[in-house]
Structure 1
Amino acid sequence: MTAPTQARPIHVAVAHRDPYVAAGIASLLRSRADFVVQSGLSDLDSGGDAVDVLVTDHATGVHRATNVPPGRGGSGPRSFLVVTDQSTGWQIRRAVDAGVRGYLLHDCSVEELSDAVRCVAGGRRYLSCPVADQLLDNFSSAAPTAREFEVLHLMAQGLANKDIGRRLSIGEGTVKTHVKAILRKLQKPTRIAAIGEAFRRGLLLEASP
């Protein structure tokens, strides 16, 4: 009798900005027989076994998902799973819009973490119940586009429209259009009020990767 063929293990990379969270996630996943776990990003795009899932923090997940090159191959991760304490609807929506396929909060159980990795590795989405509730609540609000997020970050740094245009290589008139859209979506009449609202909603909590 021919022995049954074993399923290919799921290759997981863990790269979280909080080293204690990263160590904990890696340890928990290594306790599961169907995962092969590597830590860090140093070898992620340079060769070796293909990575099915990158488990990471919000900022890294959004950055890498947004900047996935067309036709990606090699060892780059096929899917991204965020484990974070950032739980506002805007933060979640930004990650989902960027291409992050899984989103968990820090207090998730090891069973949910494992299930989420398997689900994301299989090409499906996984959002914890609190995350899904926040996301659904947020759908009633218009979300800033990726370019508007860039303008918003530069507004928060105190740059004028002309300087924002130079930084982003766009015209000053285009910047004004983006600023108007930001004010409308955040429902604030001034730049200062909009920046304050962005911080309140969690849009400007994190530094760029």
Structure 2
Amino acid sequence: MNPAIRVAVEHADPLLAAGLHSVLSEQIDIQLVAPATGADVVVADYGRGLWLAGQRPRPAPRVMVLTAQDREQDVRHALEAGVDGYLQQCCAVQELVQGLRQLARGSRCLSAVAAGRIADSLQHDSLTQREREVLGLASHGKSNKAIALALDISLGTVKVHMKGVMGKLGATTRTEAARIALERGL
């Protein structure tokens, strides 16, 4: 039999942390440990998970984020920060346990929602920084003229950027572009 997976729970939500302890203590191949005692995997909330991923000592425990956040930008940011697993808080117990086993074997684990967000993002062209600035001002109700003044660019340049935003997001109106950007976490 393989040695037990040493799991530390560092979730900020005390009720969720208690539930994780209860559920994981029933698994024969999982041993709950204190965070500082050399865990193989740490289960954390979004903020703590990102912090832990950036602060890992060597050898580092793998980091599983358990969160309600599911926007594309949140998932992408977590993965870029070094998080190894990303599951939604509403996941099934078996999905969590299987994810911990995957991380302990050195694999990554993404919930279906998180994997879908990343896959969807690959189908879209990224907005440039200037397009994001223009979209941000437009989504706050600013006119093209007001955007041009705020960014110190010409009215024609604003129109070019808005056309790029609309095309990349597949939107037909500014309102639709703002809604799509909000849904994608842009």
Normalising by structure 2, we get a TM-score of 0.68
CA distance in 1, matches of 2:52, 2:70: 19
Aligned partner of 1:56 in structure 2 is: 44
Aligned partner of 2:77 in structure 1 is: 94
The CA deviation at 1:67 is 2.8
Change (3 A) 1:113 1:192: same
Aligned partner of 2:113 in structure 1 is: 130
CA distance in 1, matches of 2:44, 2:125: 27
Larger Rg: 2
Give the 4+ runs in structure 1 shifted more than 6 A: none
Counterpart check, 1:65 vs 2:60 = no
Aligned partner of 1:12 in structure 2 is: 7
The secondary structure found in structure 2 opposite 1:188 is: helix
Give the AA of the match of 1:63.
Answer: W
The CA deviation at 1:182 is 4.0
CA distance in 2, matches of 1:60, 1:37: 18
Question: Superposition pairs for residues 137-156 of structure 1, below 5 Å?
Answer: 137-139=120-122, 140=124, 142=126
CA distance in 2, matches of 1:134, 1:186: 23
Where structure 2 has 5 or more consecutive residues not aligned to the other structure, the ranges are 141-177
Give the AA of the match of 1:33.
Answer: I
CA distance in 1, matches of 2:138, 2:8: 40
Change (3 A) 1:184 1:110: same
Give the AA of the match of 2:52.
Answer: R
CA distance in 2, matches of 1:63, 1:192: 31
Q: Compute the RMSD of aligned alpha carbons.
A: 2.9
Deviates more, 1:110-119 or 1:59-68: 59-68
CA distance in 1, matches of 2:70, 2:185: 11
Aligned partner of 1:184 in structure 2 is: 131
- The answer to which structure has the higher helix fraction is 2
Where structure 1 has 5 or more consecutive residues not aligned to the other structure, the ranges are 1-5, 144-180, 205-209
Give the AA of the match of 1:99.
Answer: G
Give the AA of the match of 1:188.
Answer: L
Aligned residues: 147
CA distance in 2, matches of 1:8, 1:100: 23
Whether the 8 Å contact between 2:85 and 2:109 is mirrored in structure 1 is yes
CA distance in 2, matches of 1:12, 1:108: 18
Give the AA of the match of 2:23.
Answer: L
Counterpart check, 1:83 vs 2:76 = no
